[in-house]
Chains A and B, each alone.
Chain A
Amino acid sequence: MEAWGVALIKVVFIWAWTLIIATLMTWVERRGSAMIQDRLGPNVCGPFGILQPLADGIKLFTKEDIVPEKAKKILFALGPIMFALPAFSAYAVIPFGDKIVIGGKEIILQVADVNIGFLYIMAIGAMSVYGIVVGGWGSNNKFSILGGLRSTAQLISYEVPFGLALLSVVIIYGTFSLREIVLHQQGTFLGFLPNWGIFKQPLGFILFIVTAYCEANRVPFDLPEAESEIVAGYHTEYGSMRLGLYLFGEYVNMYTLSALMVTLYFGGWHIPYIDMSKFLGPVAYGIASFLVFFLKTCFFLWLFVWVRWTVPRFRYDQVMSLGWKSLIPLALLNLFITAFLVQLTI
């Protein structure tokens, strides 16, 4: 019974936390892009405009909910939910800290330490495309359908290098559990480098980050919603909170993917060369590990924003050819080399 209670608290905490991060990210994105572009951005609501997401939320909630006359009503309603739900669920298997001891009880800072965490991420991540396709189709708008189709093709193509890049990580650590992968990354590698995934998988990391951008529909892979070509892609016809769910889902996806990057390649909650558990109390250690993990995640979240406002957008066929002609061969090569090296060392 107690285990249930703990699990529930963790779930509620991580949902709320993700929500807060996603809302804050909309503000960071707007302020950050403004700073990059020599502007100020929203700075009126609250100090530094930090309450802007709240204002946006109120606006989205109170706006009239318009359903196009010729839209397929059920699909139209289903789309945003199908997009947002997997985005929220994916975080369940990612460890957001090491462990914390409260009342003599050790609690792992992870909603569920599933031993197939990897497969869960892959499966849930691929689900979100349904939300886009269903929404695009249900809108009964040519631009929406184009956006939906672009998204499908893109996700199917990039799922392969994404999976292959992950597979190399699995080969190295020999486990599917994300928590165990992080635990493996303690200490040093080759004597002087932190024992992080990125130093064992440099090519794999580049492949992973490129495909992650594609999975998250971010620039330079934001073709499904390329606003200058196909208006707003799959969410052309959406308004009010339905649109809000799509936008929200995107940021939650970003958060999940950033956390995944930290987990796999940047040592999770480890600080290089320092073992925090040695000199911190159990409670302080739990909080510190959580914060370290979060700060690392923040960097990747910011990278999403930073890249978005720096590079132009690909064209549809170029994304395809990049995926199939460059990334998949590279991912296969990476997998092969990894397997070979692992075989040598064992």
Chain B
Amino acid sequence: MAQDYVKINIGPSHPAMHGTLRVIAETDGETIINAEPEIGYLHRGVEKLAESMTYHQFIPVTDRLNYCSAIPNNVAYEMAVEKLMGIEVPEKAQLIRVIMMELSRISDHIVCVGILGVDIGALTPFFYLFIQRETIYEMFEWYNGSRLTNTFGRIGGVEAPLFPGFEQKWIEFKPELMKAIDEMDKLLTHNRIWMDRTIGTTAFSAEDALNWGFTGPCLRACGVKRDLRRDEPYCMYDKFEFDIPVGKYGDVFDRYWVRMIEMYESIKIIDQAIEMYKALPDDAPLMAKVPKILKASEGEIYSAIESPNGELGFYLRGDGSDKPYRLKIRPPCYMVYQAFGELVNGEMVADLIACLSSLNVIAGELDR
């Protein structure tokens, strides 16, 4: 006898969908038999757009990829262009990049972990963390005048030194941030309801994860110790002391936990970077010598950084003009999200939502 399943259509406008994602799930009662994610609702043709823009003009567009943390996108793109043109970035600029990237890593993890809490029904820790995110945005605003879409950095360096009170602000902010993370930890981590909801849901093995192209926290949650900051160091990351947290089963709890620990590690990195920054002279260069009109020679490169979500790569091919011939973005959550059907198969509808938020799929980055 043929069995009928209920097809439910979650998204693109659904209270738990982050951006415009859509999942068509076939359910047997509450159990998901088959789930197919559909994407493209936020497709803006960024790659096509890049072909008509100069190398510099494209920086603001990269803000709109992962809009929860624009700065790593900016830096990833700038580093790709710098690699294509063989530009060496001054040390001080790299330190500023590290500080800003780690701040936005914290803010991105705050978004992910906070929203995970909201989707599992705990709204309160979300607010405790988002207040701290507000302070991070304030720091961005005082650095270069913008909060969300930062357009941080320029090709060959950064546009400004850290603002004068930066260190003071960071010293004041750090205990607040740690307290908020602690509160989230106390409210959720050992709560049986939370544990039941997260432990064991959508577990994934390391082999599968690698085969599906997982990177970042989602891969580390599966137990693979891989972090581009350590494995392919860029921006002087090899000079910092930090740990790479790994999980064991790749379930929602591990992803949550890896992100929580990474926030602490980012705090450590920022502390060290500020110390190194202070040791540099005030007039140390912030920009490499870059021609006014950037023209890349013919050639193709691929450059990747560890964005908060995982490996964010830019493939660039130059053709001698001032515009990229082809630009391909490798968004981390694109690779993760394609395994979504496999991840949630056999789980329940509520787990689908929890899984989705733990993957931190950002529609802007996914659809480009």
Chain A residues with CB under 8 A of B350: 226, 229, 313, 315-316
CB distance from A164 to the nearest CB of B (A): 23
* B119 CB–A CB distance under 8 Å: yes
Majority secondary structure, A binding face = loop
Contact A143 B127 (CB under 8 A): no
| Known contacts A142-B6, A228-B16, A314-B197; A219 and B121 CB within 8 A of each other | yes
* B33 CB–A CB distance under 8 Å: no
| Known contacts A38-B128, A229-B16; A313 and B120 CB within 8 A of each other | yes
* B47 CB–A CB distance under 8 Å: no
Chain B residues with CB under 8 A of A311: 121-122, 191, 193
Chain A minimum-CB-distance residue to B30: A316
Chain A residues with CB under 8 A of B351: 315
| Known contacts A220-B121, A311-B193, A312-B194; A146 and B16 CB within 8 A of each other | no
Contact A36 B124 (CB under 8 A): yes
Contact B127 A227 (CB under 8 A): no
Interface size class of B (residues with CB under 8 A): 20 to 34
Question: How many residues of chain A get a CB closer than 8 Å to chain B's CBs?
Answer: 28
A230 CA to B353 CA, complexed, in Å: 10
Contact A312 B348 (CB under 8 A): no
Chain B residues with CB under 8 A of A317: 30, 348
| Known contacts A39-B127, A311-B191; A228 and B196 CB within 8 A of each other | no
Q: Which positions 200-251 of chain A face chain B at CB distance < 8 Å?
A: 219-220, 222, 226-232
Chain B residues with CB under 8 A of A143: 8
Contact B193 A314 (CB under 8 A): yes
* A294 CB–B CB distance under 8 Å: no
Query: What's the A-B contact tally at a CB cutoff of 8 Å?
Result: 82
Contact B121 A312 (CB under 8 A): yes
* A318 CB–B CB distance under 8 Å: yes
* A37 CB–B CB distance under 8 Å: yes
Chain B minimum-CB-distance residue to A37: B127
* A173 CB–B CB distance under 8 Å: no
Chain B minimum-CB-distance residue to A311: B193
CB distance from A31 to the nearest CB of B (A): 14
Q: Which of A142, A219, A222 contacts B8 (CB 8 A)?
A: A142
A78 CA to B6 CA, complexed, in Å: 26
In the complex, per-residue mask of B21-40: 1 if CB is within 8 Å of any chain A CB, else 0: 00000000010000000000
* B14 CB–A CB distance under 8 Å: yes
Q: Which positions 311-368 of chain B face chain A at CB distance < 8 Å?
A: 348-351, 353
| Known contacts A228-B15, A315-B197, A318-B196; A310 and B187 CB within 8 A of each other | yes
Contact B127 A313 (CB under 8 A): no
15 A-B pairs (CB sep. < 8 Å): A33-B124, A37-B123, A146-B8, A219-B121, A222-B121, A226-B121, A227-B15, A311-B121, A311-B122, A312-B191, A313-B193, A314-B196, A315-B348, A316-B349, A318-B196
